[in-house]
Structure 1
C-alpha cells in the first residue's frame, strides 16, 4: 500500500482551517469598513488596521460566535453520552454497549494517560468535553470584554456614562448577543440529528448508509 501524502491524511482539517481563516479575514476587513463608516458619520477618526484589531467591535464579533460554537460542541458531546435519537446517525444505538462505553485497557500503543492510570486517566476520559468547556469559557470572557469595550466606546461618543464590568454583566445587550447565537447553534444540532434519520449523503460519516431503513440507528 502506497504511503498517503500529508495533505491526503490531513485534508479535512486543513481545508476547514483555511476556510475559517479566509472567512475571518473577510470578517476583519468588512467589519473595519463598517465600523469606520459609522465613525465617519459621527465625525470621528477612522481606525487603522492595528487599532481595529484591538477594538471592542472586532473582539466582540469574533468571540461572540466562537463562544456559541464551543458551547454547542461541549453540550453535544456530553448529551450524546446518555441521550438517544432513534434512527439518527448522530446517536448511539438504543440497545447494548458500544465500543466507546467500554473501560479503557492499557497497552503499549495506548495514549500515555491510559497507561499511567489514576487521576490522569480520569481527566483524559473526559478531556474532549473539558477542552471545549475551557475554550467556551475563554471565548465567553473575551466576548464579554469586547462587548463591554464596544459599549463604553459608544457611550463615551454619546457623552453618556460608561459601565463597569459588574454592571454590564446584567445588561440585556450582552445577553442578547450571546443568546441569539446559542439558539442558532442548538437549532443546527437538532437539524443534523433529525434530518439524518431520513436523509442521506453517500460517503459521509455523518450519514447513515443510503440503504439503511429510517428507523434503524447505526
Structure 2
C-alpha cells in the first residue's frame, strides 16, 4: 500500500513544526522582554537579529535543549539494563527481547551492519552517543550564553565580570541547570510509573487496555 510523504512522516513533521513555532515565539517574546528590561535600565534597545546573538537568548534556549538531551541519553542507556515491573517503558524482567539480539547482515541492513567491526560497534551505540554529544554541545552553549548574559548585566550595573572558568562556580548557572534537569527527571519517572496503571488505546507508549498491571513492556 502506498502512502503519502505526509502520512509516512506525520509525527516528525508535526513536532518539528511545533518546535520551530515555539522557538520563534520564544525568540520574539524574549526580545520584547529583554528590550523592556533595557528600557528600565535606561539603555538603548536592540534589534531582533542582535537579540538572537545575545546571552539572554542563547542561555534560555540551550538550557532547555541541554535538559532534554540529558533526559534522552539517560533514558536510552539506562533502559538497557534497568527494569520496572509493570511499566510499558521497560523491557521484560526475564526474557530476552528483539532489541537484545546480535545484529545479522542482510540485504536491507544498514551499511555499518554489513561492514562489521568498529563501524558496527559504533553504530550499535550511535543513538546514545548522538544524544550524549548533543547534551554536551547544549550544555557548553548554555554555559556560554549564561556567562554572556551575566556579564552584560554586570556591566550595566558597573560591576566586575567573570571569565568562563570563573563562571562555572557561579550559583546562577547551576540554578538554571538544575531547575531544568529536575523537571526532565520527573517527566521520565511519570511516564515509567504511570504506564503501569494507566492506558491510552492506540498509543505505542501504552500497554494494551486489557493488559494486567503486572505485565511489563508493551
Structure 2 length as normaliser, TM-score?
0.99
Question: Secondary structure at the residue paired with 2:65?
Answer: helix
Q: How far apart, CA to CA, are the structure 2 residues paired with 1:176 and 1:59?
A: 16
Match of 1:7?
A: 6
Give the superposition deviation at 1:65. 0.1
Paired residues, what number?
217
Match of 2:114?
A: 115
Structure 1 length as normaliser, TM-score?
0.99
Q: 1:135-214 alignment to 2 at 5 Å?
A: 135-214=134-213
Q: How far apart, CA to CA, are the structure 2 residues paired with 1:78 and 1:127?
A: 11
Structure 2 residue 76 is matched with structure 1 residue 77: yes
Q: How far apart, CA to CA, are the structure 2 residues paired with 1:164 and 1:217?
A: 50
* Structure 1: gaps of 5 or more residues: none
Give the superposition deviation at 1:61. 0.2
Q: How far apart, CA to CA, are the structure 2 residues paired with 1:209 and 1:20?
A: 30
Give the superposition deviation at 1:168. 0.2
Give the superposition deviation at 1:47. 1.2
Give the superposition deviation at 1:96. 1.3
Give the superposition deviation at 1:212. 0.3
Q: How far apart, CA to CA, are the structure 2 residues paired with 1:203 and 1:79?
A: 26
Q: How far apart, CA to CA, are the structure 2 residues paired with 1:71 and 1:166?
A: 22
Match of 1:87?
A: 86
Q: How far apart, CA to CA, are the structure 1 residues paired with 2:23 and 2:51?
A: 14
Q: How far apart, CA to CA, are the structure 2 residues paired with 1:120 and 1:175?
A: 37
Q: How far apart, CA to CA, are the structure 2 residues paired with 1:29 and 1:197?
A: 40
Q: How far apart, CA to CA, are the structure 2 residues paired with 1:166 and 1:4?
A: 53
Give the superposition deviation at 1:122. 0.6
Structure 2 residue 132 is matched with structure 1 residue 133: yes
Give the superposition deviation at 1:108. 1.6
